[in-house]
Amino acid sequence: MRFLFAILFSISLFLSCGREKPADIEARVVEARALVREFGGTLKPILVSHFKQDGPVAAIEVCSKSAPEIAQNISNKSGWDVKRVSHKPRNGQSGRADEWELGVLQRFIDARKAGADVDTLEHYEVLSMEDGSRTFRYMKPQKTLKLCTACHGTSIDPAVSAKLLERYPNDVARGFKEGDVRGAFSLKMRLN
């Protein structure tokens, strides 16, 4: 019996050694926040300037091209997997949230319903897989601004709507109101 306890104790010690210390997690959170700021801070000025100069129809092209490029560049240089996802995606491939992301998006939506400002929310977690691997995951919601409603709102200009449907025939990223959770930045980093 004592032997069994000794074994169990060693196993639990081994497992807890494999876990990250709070300071390591905090460091990941700081990194993730900075990458989100970089992503948003690169994409938004591009979107805004094209929107103002050339109008929303032309800005669709920019959004389609620039957003995935920026996500890829930031992923490549940082070693994180960085993307934008939604519970109502426009891009049915890269924009579709997985099961975990859908659960977190729902938390954000519930918090918003309860009166929270979407900009103050975030969520992170270390997920352990059956094969023993662990992944740090971070999500930060994206709030629907007035500008966003031109392409994601309830009454989209017919020319904009037609252009969107031409490129995204299964587009469901519509019907959002100012302040709503439009989607989220989602970041992953494997820890072992």
CA 127, chain centre distance (Å) = 16
Question: What is the rounded CA–CA span in Å between residue 168 and residue 170?
Answer: 5
The residue (of 59 and 139) whose beta carbon lies closer to ligand HEC is: 59
The yes or no reply on residue 140 touching ligand HEC (CB under 6 A) is no
Taking the least distance from each CB to ligand HEC, the nearer of 11 and 145 is: 145
Straight-line distance from the first to the last Cα atom of the chain, in angstroms, rounded to the nearest whole number: 33
174: closest CA among 88, 107, 114, 94? 88
Q: Using the minimum distance from each CB to ligand HEC, give the nearer residue, 148 or 189.
A: 148
Least Å distance between CB 4 and ligand HEC?
A: 51
> Phi, psi at residue 161, to the nearest 5°?
-60, -45
For ligand HEC, what does the binding mask look like between residues 53 and 82, x meaning CB under 6 A? ---x--xx--xx--xx--------------
The CB density around residue 17, as the number of other CB atoms within 10 Å, is: 7
Cα separation, 181 vs 119, in Å, equals: 9
Interface region with ligand HEC, contact rule CB under 6 A, candidates 15-23, 102-110, 112-120, 146-154 = 146-154
* Residues from 77 through 116 that contact ligand HEC (CB under 6 A): 84-86, 89-91, 94-95
Minimum CB–partner distance for residue 66 and ligand HEC (Å): 9
Gap between the Cα atoms of 89 and 82, Å rounded: 16
Q: Please report, as ranges, the residues that interact with ligand HEC according to CB under 6 A.
A: 47, 51, 56, 59-60, 63-64, 67-68, 84-86, 89-91, 94-95, 142, 144-145, 147-148, 150-152, 173, 182-183
